[in-house]
Amino acid sequence: MAGIRFVDVCKRFGKVEAVKNFSLEVHDKEFLTLVGPSGSGKSTILNLLAGLEDPSSGQIFIDGRLVNPVPPGQRDIAMVFQSYALYPHMSVRHNMGFGLKVRRYSKAKIEEKVTEAANLLGISELLDRMPRELSGGQRQRVALGRAITRDPKVFLLDEPLSNLDAKLRIRMRAELKLLFERLEGTVVYVTHDQVEAMTMSDRVVVMNNGVDQQVGAPLEIYDTPKNVFVASFMGSPPMNFVQAQLDLTAEVPVLRAGGVDLPFDVHLPTGSMARLTRRPLIVGVRPEHIVVTAPSKSSIACRVLLVESMGNLNVVHTEVGQHRLVITTDSAFRAAGGETINIAFKADKVHLFDQSTSERIDLFNTTVA
pLDDT tens column, 5-24 = 999 999 999 999 999 999 99
pLDDT tens column, 152-163 = 889 999 988 887
Is 273 a domain residue?
A: yes
In terms of domains, do 257 and 219 share one?
Answer: no
- With vertex at residue 156, the alpha carbon angle to CA 155 and CA 161, rounded to the nearest 5 degrees, is 110
Instruction: Compute the average pLDDT of residues 202-224.
Output: 97
Inform me whether the pLDDT recorded for 92 exceeds 70: yes
Query: Which residue range(s) make up the domain with 298?
Result: 240-368
Is 234 a domain residue?
A: no
Instruction: Compute the average pLDDT of residues 345-349.
Output: 86
State in Å, rounded, how far the first CA of the chain is from the last one.
34
In terms of domains, do 78 and 206 share one?
Answer: yes
Question: Can you give the pLDDT at residue 3?
Answer: 93
In terms of domains, do 74 and 202 share one?
Answer: yes
Q: What is each CA distance from 64 to 26, 28, 155, in whole angstroms?
A: 12, 11, 16
Question: Can you give the pLDDT at residue 185?
Answer: 85
- Nearest Cα neighbor of 258 from 275, 239, 241, 277 is 241
pLDDT tens column, 48-65 = 999 999 999 999 999 999
Q: How many domains does the chain have?
A: 2
Q: Please report, for the domain that includes residue 312, its CATH number.
A: 2.40.50.140
Of 80-84, 94-98, 284-288, 300-304, the least confident: 80-84
CA distance 333 to 177: 35
In terms of domains, do 161 and 263 share one?
Answer: no
CA distance 347 to 297: 13
Of 88-102, 269-283, 342-356, the least confident: 269-283
- Nearest Cα neighbor of 367 from 347, 348, 346, 352 is 352
Q: What is the pTM of this model?
A: 0.88
Q: What is each CA distance from 204 to 37, 90, 240, 267, in whole angstroms?
A: 14, 36, 22, 32
Inform me whether the pLDDT recorded for 269 exceeds 70: no
Mean pLDDT score across all residues of the chain? 89
DSSP one-letter code for 360:
B
Inform me whether the pLDDT recorded for 278 exceeds 90: no
pLDDT tens column, 234-261 = 999 999 999 998 887 777 778 888 778 8
In terms of domains, do 211 and 290 share one?
Answer: no
CA distance 54 to 80: 19
Is 233 a domain residue?
A: no
Amino acid at 65: R
CA distance 27 to 36: 21
In terms of domains, do 102 and 177 share one?
Answer: yes
Is 235 a domain residue?
A: no
